[in-house]
Amino acid sequence: MEKKVILSGIQATGDLTLGNYIGALKNFVKMQDEYDCYYMIANLHALTVRREPKELKNNALKILASYIAAGIDPDKSTIFLQSQVQEHAELGWVLDCYTYMGELSRMTQFKDKSSKHADNINAGLFTYPSLMAGDILLYQADLVPTGEDQKQHVELTRDLAERFNKLYGETFVVPNAYVRKSSARIMGLQDPTSKMSKSATNLNDVIFLEDEPEVILKKFKKAVTDSENRVKFDPENKPGVSNLMQIYSAITGKSMEEIENEYDEIAQASFNINKKMENKVKKYSLLITVFGLILLGICLLFGFQDGFDKMWESRSWLCILGIIATIVGIVARIVSIFIKPKASLLEDLKWNKEELENWHKNVMIILLFLMKNMISIFYVHNIKKKTVK
């Protein structure tokens, strides 16, 4: 039996993102054993936005490298540069003449891109979908694997193929979009209501495939979520968390339910550690206060016995230590009533939970806890003062 034909492509517009990988590239690789695959580097489509010729060439080579690095095997699939097959532009023009202005002006990508590049709303941006239809119909493709944003273009391609076939007899195979629901639309990390895109201006919004592991971790840590302390898949009310879950699910293959359960367990464990930390701060702040008070009591005894002047001369260090310990203990206790000590303190110290049992480390926890909160209170206070000014 003849293999079905697949055609898809990625625009040569910059470094590939995790969205491109999950939404497109990953599926390109999976499909190559079962189908006759044509994967294109869409450099003609990239011309709809102004580019330096050198940058365009470089981007095309980078996409080629990413195709191969991701696992597209040139022995199994055909990889090619769109502009090197002149029939793309030719069929694109023919299809331009069969596409209605009304159809093109309904395209979401046209509306998005023309609002982003208001100074360059060119005809190519408008007729972009007809050229894409040409790409697909030229190879008589049965399936077009893409992310959800391209589905509307593939639907227009179907309409054009049917229109042409009706007028001139069976000419083109009518293609279907292949959009995997679970990975169809990866959103930005800073703005989870819009698509992660390689031409984004906020670099923290996007994970690039070339980013170093530490950079990737940082970007994920900075990702916008919400104030609720719960991991739940609810794209409408929790777009940030749902997007992170979708990425996690696409990479690990876990279902949303599995992820929710996993994080419920982590939340429970972290709740337990937080509770433990809270009790430790309570216990040790009391111990430090009592220790300080004992020292001060000893100073008082010496004072009554030898006179306070003499006592201060010979034992001032004892009194100072007593005063400091008492103040630290009391302040730690008061602050911990308003700001709960969290397990993240242990991460700051790079300690694990077992090390929590060590008494001197508990004292360190109290000091760090105090310092952390004092510094943040100081900053907030300063910022408030500046804003009032």
Query: Which positions touch ligand ATP (CB under 6 A)?
Result: 10-11, 13, 17, 19-20, 22-24, 146-147, 149-150, 184-186, 195-199
Torsion sign over Cα 230, 232, 238, 242: positive
**Position closest to ligand ATP via CB:** 23
* CA–CA separation, 195 and 203 (whole Å): 13
Which residue's CB is nearer to ligand ATP, number 9 or number 341? 9
How many H-runs (helices) and E-runs (strands) does the chain carry?
A: 14, 5
- Shortest distance, position 213 Cβ to ligand ATP, whole Å: 21
N-terminal to C-terminal alpha carbon distance within the chain:
77
Q: Which residues of 329-338 are buried (b: 16+ CB within 10 A; e: fewer)?
A: bbbbbebbee
Which residue's CB is nearer to ligand LTN, number 64 or number 144? 144
Distances (CA, A) of 103 to 99, 150, 152, 318: 7, 15, 10, 85
Which residue's CB is nearer to ligand LTN, number 70 or number 273? 70
Q: Which of 62, 76, 195, 232 is catalytic?
A: 195
Interface with ligand LTN (CB under 6 A)? 7-11, 42, 45, 132, 135-136, 144, 146, 150
Residue 144 interacting entry, from ligand ATP, ligand LTN, none, C-beta within 5 to 8 Å by type: ligand LTN
- Shortest distance, position 185 Cβ to ligand ATP, whole Å: 5
Residue 197 interacting entry, from ligand ATP, ligand LTN, none, C-beta within 5 to 8 Å by type: ligand ATP
- DSSP characters over 209-249: TTS-HHHHHHHHHH----SSS-----TTT-HHHHHHHHHHH
Identify the helix (H) or strand (E) that includes residue 354.
none
Indicate the length of the chain as a whole number.
Answer: 389
- Would you put residue 339 in left (φ > 0), alpha (ψ -120 to 50) or beta? beta
Name 273's Cβ contacts closer than 8 Å, sequence gap at least 6: 343, 346, 353, 356
Identify the helix (H) or strand (E) that includes residue 266.
helix 256-306
Residue 196 interacting entry, from ligand ATP, ligand LTN, none, C-beta within 5 to 8 Å by type: ligand ATP
Residue 195 interacting entry, from ligand ATP, ligand LTN, none, C-beta within 5 to 8 Å by type: ligand ATP
- Shortest distance, position 124 Cβ to ligand LTN, whole Å: 12
Which residue's CB is nearer to ligand ATP, number 27 or number 285? 27
Q: Which of 26, 166, 198, 276 is catalytic?
A: 198
Which residue's CB is nearer to ligand LTN, number 136 or number 325? 136
Residue 135 interacting entry, from ligand LTN, ligand ATP, none, C-beta within 5 to 8 Å by type: ligand LTN
For this structure, is 151 an active site residue? Answer: no
Q: Which of 113, 219, 238, 280 is catalytic?
A: 113
At 30, the amino acid letter reads K
* CA–CA separation, 357 and 370 (whole Å): 19
Which residue's CB is nearer to ligand ATP, number 222 or number 384? 222
DSSP, collapsed to helix, strand or coil, labels residue 36 as strand
CB count in 10 Å sphere of residue 199: 15
For this structure, is 283 an active site residue? Answer: no
- Shortest distance, position 84 Cβ to ligand LTN, whole Å: 14
- Shortest distance, position 87 Cβ to ligand LTN, whole Å: 13
**What tokens were used for 120?**
């360059």
For this structure, is 113 an active site residue? Answer: yes
Residue 132 interacting entry, from ligand LTN, ligand ATP, none, C-beta within 5 to 8 Å by type: ligand LTN
Q: Which residues are catalytic?
A: 113, 195, 198
